[in-house]
Amino acid sequence: MFRIFFITLLLCLTGCTAVTPLTPKVTYYLLDEVPLTAPQPPTGQAIIQVTAITVPEYLNRSNLVMRKANQEMSFANYHSWADSLPAAMQRVVVQALNQNTTNISYSRYCATANCPRLQIAVDHFYPTESGDVVLAGSYVFASKSGATRPVPFVLTKALESGGYHEAVQQMRELLWALSDHIEKQRQHLKAEHAKGNPGPGLIENTGVVF
Amino acid sequence: MTHDIAPAETAPTARISIIWLLPAIALIIGLGMVYESWKNRGIAIQILFDTAEGLEVDKTRIKYRNVDVGLVTHIGFNDDKSSIVIDVEIDQSFRDLLAEDSRFWVVKPRIGAAGISGIGTLLSGAYIEIAPGQSTNQSRHFTGLEVPPITPPNTDGLHLTLTSRGGTPLSVGNPVIYRGFDVGQVESFEFLPESREARYQVFIRAPYHRLVTSNTFFWNVGGFSLNANAEGVRLNVASLESLVSGGVEFDVPADLAVGELVEREQVFALYDSRDSVNKRRQYEYVEYAMLVEDSVGGLYEGAPVEYKGIRVGTVKTPYVRFDDPRHQQLEGDRIAIIIRIEPGRMYSEQHTSLQEFDEQFHNWIHDGLNATIENANLITGSLKVTLDSSDTAIEHIERFGEYSVIPSRRTSLSSITDSAQNLLAKLEQLPLEQMVTSANTTLVSADTTLRALNRAIAEMEAVLQGAQPGSPMYQSMQQNLDELQRTLFELRRTLHSTEPLIQNITNKPNALIFSGPAPADAEPAAKE
């Protein structure tokens, strides 16, 4: 009796563990590219903290997501993020911002609670079945004395060869483009602040070193 | 030769030689001079002084109003050497000055309460001043004054005598004041041990002496007095001199008409103050009795009797002795007090007679008038009698000997005392010892609890201190929270990742065993 049970169990386990040579392997992607060494900011230079980027729930997962036609979303089984997507996005944005500026530093951390902050909220960040990569959301500059009005952004790039591999690269490029957009907006706000005009984009004069 | 010589004729010669005419004339002249000298000699008098200071024989003159009237002829002692006898020769023409009440004193430089006098004698030398008296009898022996009289001799005015049994003593020279005006002076004073009173001789200058009438009152105004009552605070000062050295003031009370003029020396009582005049002056009165059960300690003779705050009388006898025969008729242990009701304090003099007032007062007693003993001064504890009306009419008025009795009621203080005694009795019945013991135990326990609480608070403060932002504990907690947050985030991401599997198993429970591998993922295409 015991033999029959043992053999039956063995067959069942064999069926469970059998993997057909046709099963694809899982590919893990990292949004960061090769890390770049950012220059050491001089002592006393203002620091803007880039807070954790908020993403929708459907993006807050390890599976890569693709949008199909008719608002259908496809979650990949064999293509996953190696790291948390929001954390990776934050690292890429900080790296890109520091590469684009010289008189101010961006950081994920701040030693005190008085640092001005850059808060980014991403609503769409995925490739589409038709060959586009989309990055959309909004960001605000905030400080102790207040915050700017949310600045929306919608950035897209086209896939030349297709596939998740290129999609990840284009998604990274979109984050660099977002950083460039943010820095230009900051320069604009700084100029408006120097003139004393709050400008249409400011809720109030925060007095932040924009 | 011989001649005949006629016989000589002889004539009788004078018995007295004319040569004696000159001596006779000289004698006559001499006798005349002696007679003249005897006729013009002065009147010899003797004056007794305690000391001969400043006096010299044949130099010290006697003056009256700066006119020489005599000369000191001899200075010696009396028989027992206790006084100095000054022999003085007064000019005959001034015989009239030697009345038996004439006064003599030595004028020399003096400094006293009245000021500095006799400065002129520094150059001219001392002399004896005479103030002739008014008597018709003459005298040749006088006793000199050691101190010059305050009032200049023969000054028009009025001499009075004031008697006092207490109060601030007066001094020679103190002013006599009438409504702020200085009208006289205190001339002398003496204390009589027999009657235990002080007597002051005062002089009031003319024409102010006409202000003194039979119902004039004199009071002491030395220093100042301060009155504080419902009307406010009043500082009374008669004059600057009286403020420093004392004085006497007089006037007729406002409620009395001016009496008969006083024209000769009279004795008046000296009151301690203006207020004591109102309090202690004598009024006509009617006497009544009170019978009380309360304590009369603090009630004194002369204490006020008041009706609704108005003084209407005086306590004559604070308590009648218990061996008084009239006590035998009383019921219970009651103390008899005799009071005087003085209508003059309430009405003008002509308003009512004493008999009419007495009848009216009896009617008031029938209508409910009663009396109580109340505190007059909480600090000194003195008492007074207070009359009040009530709605309780009585038919029969009790008698205490010859006095009608005013019904009395217990004082508010007595009622308060009774209530306090009842309260104390109740307090005495309380188990205070047990309560105190229990309270002590509770306090000890509370103290222990508070100490433990204090320790806990101190430890909590230390913990909170360590948890301040920037502290290592805070940073460690922050790191732990961040780690926890990341873990939760990963857990959520993992759950999201397993959601399709769970959904698949839900749809097909045997998918774990009998399902094949998932198809390959659809990937984004290249942009066309």
Mind listing the pLDDT tens digit for each residue in B321-350? Answer: 888 888 777 777 788 999 999 888 887 665
| B520: nearest CA partner in chain A | A24
Is there a contact between A124 and A155 (Cβ–Cβ < 8 Å)?
A: no
- Beta-bridged to residue B341, according to DSSP, are B286, B313
Is there a contact between B233 and B227 (Cβ–Cβ < 8 Å)?
A: yes
Nearest-CA distance from A117 to chain B in Å?
18
pLDDT tier at B226 (50, 70, 90 boundaries)?
low
Give yes or no for a cis peptide into B207 (omega within 30° of 0). yes
For the ranges A20-29, B230-239, B253-262, which has the lowest average pLDDT?
B230-239
Residue B348: predicted pLDDT:
66
Decide if A71 touches B, using CB distance below 8 A: no
Residue B224: predicted pLDDT:
66
Mean pLDDT score of chain B, rounded to an integer?
83
pLDDT tier at B285 (50, 70, 90 boundaries)?
confident
Residue B514: predicted pLDDT:
66
Alpha-carbon span B333 to B346, nearest angstrom = 33
Query: Which pLDDT tens digit goes with each residue over B414-436?
Result: 667 767 877 888 888 888 788 88
Is there a contact between B64 and B90 (Cβ–Cβ < 8 Å)?
A: no
Q: 3-class SS at B355?
A: helix
Report for A114-118, B145-149, B236-240, B356-360: range of highest mean pLDDT: B356-360
For the ranges B91-95, B293-297, B360-364, which has the lowest average pLDDT?
B293-297
Mean pLDDT, range B134-138, rounded to an integer: 86
Nearest to A76 among B521, B525, B528 (CB): B521
Residue of B206, B246, B201 lying closest to B222 (CA atoms): B246
For the ranges B94-98, B176-180, B253-257, B490-494, which has the lowest average pLDDT?
B253-257
Query: Number of residue pairs across A and B with CB atoms under 8 Å?
Result: 82
Contact map slice: B 481-500 vs A, CB within 8 A: 489-490, 492-494, 496-497, 500
Alpha-carbon span B72 to B104, nearest angstrom = 13
pLDDT tier at B462 (50, 70, 90 boundaries)?
confident
Structure tokens at B135: 């008597």
Tell me which chain A residues have a C-beta less than 8 angstroms from the C-beta of B516: 20
Alpha-carbon span B298 to B318, nearest angstrom = 9
Mean pLDDT, range B159-175, rounded to an integer: 84
Helix H or strand E encompassing B403: strand B403-406
pLDDT tier at B280 (50, 70, 90 boundaries)?
low
Decide if B517 touches A, using CB distance below 8 A: yes
| B491: nearest CA partner in chain A | A61
Nearest to B517 among A23, A130, A131 (CB): A23
Decide if A8 touches B, using CB distance below 8 A: no
In sign, the C-alpha dihedral spanning B473, B474, B478, B484 is: positive
Contact B526 A162 (CB under 8 A): yes
Residue B1 has pLDDT above 70, yes or no: no
Residue B150: CB partners within 8 Å, gap ≥ 6? B114, B172, B173, B185, B186, B187, B188, B203
Residue A201: predicted pLDDT:
46
**Antiparallel, parallel or unpaired: β A63-67 and B67-77:** unpaired
Nearest to B524 among A84, A113, A129 (CB): A129
Is there a contact between B376 and B303 (Cβ–Cβ < 8 Å)?
A: yes
Contact B524 A159 (CB under 8 A): yes
Nearest to A127 among B492, B524, B528 (CB): B524
Contact A160 B526 (CB under 8 A): yes
pLDDT tier at B114 (50, 70, 90 boundaries)?
low
Residue B301 has pLDDT above 70, yes or no: yes
Whole-prediction pTM: 0.39
Q: How far is CA A79 from the centre of its chain?
A: 17
pLDDT tier at B371 (50, 70, 90 boundaries)?
very high
Tell me which chain A residues have a C-beta less than 8 angstroms from the C-beta of B520: 24, 78
Mean pLDDT, range B279-286, rounded to an integer: 76
Q: What is the pLDDT along chain A (210 residues), one digit of tens a residue?
A: 778 888 888 877 766 655 455 567 889 999 987 666 666 666 666 788 899 999 999 998 889 999 998 889 999 989 999 988 999 999 999 999 988 777 788 888 887 777 888 999 999 999 999 999 999 999 998 887 777 888 999 999 999 999 999 999 999 999 999 999 999 988 888 887 778 766 544 444 445 555
Nearest-CA distance from A75 to chain B in Å?
8
For the ranges A78-82, B13-17, B225-229, B481-485, which has the lowest average pLDDT?
B225-229
Residue B408: CB partners within 8 Å, gap ≥ 6? B290, B291, B292, B370, B371, B372, B373
Nearest-CA distance from B497 to chain A in Å?
6
Contact B512 A16 (CB under 8 A): yes
Is there a contact between B205 and B187 (Cβ–Cβ < 8 Å)?
A: no
Decide if A6 touches B, using CB distance below 8 A: no
Residue B237: predicted pLDDT:
65
User: Is pLDDT larger for residue B32 or for residue A40?
Assistant: B32
